[in-house]
Amino acid sequence: MSPLITPQPLSAIWVYLSASPLMGLTVTLLAYQGAFWVYKRAGFHPLANPVLLAVVTLVTLLTVTGVPYQRYFDGAQFVHFLLGPATVALALPLHAQLKKVWSMIVPVLVALVVGCLVAALSAIAIGHLLGASTATLMSLAPKSVTMPIAMGIAERNGGLPSLAAVLVMVTGILGAVTAPYLFNAMGLKDPAVRGFAIGVAAHGIGTARAFQSSEQAGAFSALAMGLNGALTALLLPVILPWVRIWTG
């Protein structure tokens, strides 16, 4: 007597599941949940950053299974949509720190301008010394701002939006991983100062790391991320044409 259901190989099952529009969302949530479990088990060690672990897991999975990125993104785009409300929600902890912000308004503005310029110009200078092309330099310059702003700046100035997106992600992960060690080595203990610094340098991923430290650090990081994005969008279109002339 033949079975009612014929057993299918695992590869066939995966093909069926990968075609589901919710597969990308499910895999993304599971990857991050697993990464966060590892992060927690590691005592919240910076090197076990959950974003880094989740990205590595997803890239490996997509590469091994041969699932096109666009198909994955079609299912995971709800997470992308939630970035908007999540960014707006950062105003709540920031509102609770308004008194502290106003008491530090002068150093905040100075740090913002210096951080914005150093983040962009140092990347351009290092890239130029290493022989990077002009398109690569245009993609490197906005690496310390959120991805949509960075991709727009790169595209308008002859850069590569896809490369800019990768550089933004790498910058955020490196900032979140290394910032605690740098702050401790420099003797920086004020959570507002630590938060603002990581927000300027490592945008949203750094801000997520700052919130794990304290609400005040997270609030100042969110402030830095927003202000740096706006200032970079204003300054780089003025600076980058001169960089193109300089790099020939």
Question: How do residues 10-39 score in pLDDT, each as one tens digit?
Answer: 455 445 445 556 778 888 889 999 999 998
Q: What percentage of the chain exceeds 70 in pLDDT?
A: 91
In this prediction, residue 18 carries a pLDDT of 52
CA distance 6 to 19: 20
Instruction: Say whether pLDDT at 247 is over 80.
Output: no
Query: Which tokens sit at 91?
Result: 């105003």
In this prediction, residue 33 carries a pLDDT of 92
Question: How do residues 107-155 score in pLDDT, each as one tens digit?
Answer: 999 999 999 999 999 999 999 999 989 899 999 999 999 888 898 899 8
For the whole prediction, is pTM greater than 0.85? no
Average pLDDT, the chain: 85
In this prediction, residue 13 carries a pLDDT of 46
